[in-house]
Amino acid sequence: MNQLLDTASLILISIMVVLVWAQVFMRYVLNFSPFWIEATARYLMIWALLLSATVLVRRDEHVRMDFLIEAFPPRVSKIIGVILSLAIFAFLMVYTVFGLEAALANLNVRDGSIRISMFWPLLIIPLSGALMFLNLVVLIYEMIFNRSAA
């Protein structure tokens, strides 16, 4: 699953780069700038970022201050790691639920430039939250039982 998410993120970033380069070319060479490119590139960037974040959670490479955790003995570091992961777990539950509510609340709201339902750009919030949640469950299990990824 994570390899697919990593690949999807790379594809979204690649499309975004091509769109932005096309917009720059058209704006400065052809004196024409399509209205839809900026919003599309912005939404692609958000989707790519949050899909990548799910993979980083699984790899245990999310943002934190490792030097503080590593300052303690291994057993204490492991306990701190589990506690921090449980805190992230609680945050992801809230993030996913409120993200789903936000997406559903904006089902009939349209983007000003590309006129798509704001549900689609906002859908990445609960989707990424659920995927991070799954990855974190596996990570916590491995931390507690000293297992590594298969």
Q: Is the predicted pLDDT of residue 111 greater than 60, yes or no?
A: yes
Q: Please tell me the predicted confidence (pLDDT) of residue 71.
A: 87
**Residue 141, beta-bridge partner list:** none
Domain that holds residue 61: 2-145
Mean pLDDT of the chain: 91
Residue 110 in 3-state DSSP?
strand
- 115 assigned to some structural domain: yes
User: Do 136 and 85 form a contact (C-beta atoms < 8 A)?
Assistant: yes
More confident residue, 113 or 47: 47
- 74 assigned to some structural domain: yes
- 48 assigned to some structural domain: yes
Q: Please tell me the predicted confidence (pLDDT) of residue 93.
A: 95
Q: Please tell me the predicted confidence (pLDDT) of residue 97.
A: 97
* CB neighbour class for 60 (10 Å; exposed up to 12, middle 13-18, buried from 19): middle
Q: Is the predicted pLDDT of residue 9 greater than 70, yes or no?
A: yes
Using alpha carbons, list the distances in angstroms from residue 76 to 5, 32, 66, 105, 108.
33, 60, 13, 43, 50
- 67 assigned to some structural domain: yes
- What is the pLDDT confidence band of residue 150, given thresholds at 50, 70 and 90? very low
Find tokens 């769109």 and name the residue: 19
Q: What is the pLDDT of residues 72-104, one digit of tens each?
A: 898 888 888 888 888 999 999 999 999 999 999
- 150 assigned to some structural domain: no
What residues contact residue 80 under an 8 Å CB cut-off, 6+ apart? Answer: 69, 72
Domains of the chain: total: 1
**C-alpha to C-alpha distance for 40 and 25, rounded to whole angstroms:** 17
Average pLDDT estimate for 25-47: 93
- 111 assigned to some structural domain: yes
Q: Please tell me the predicted confidence (pLDDT) of residue 15.
A: 97
- 102 assigned to some structural domain: yes
- 107 assigned to some structural domain: yes
| Single pTM value for the model | 0.84
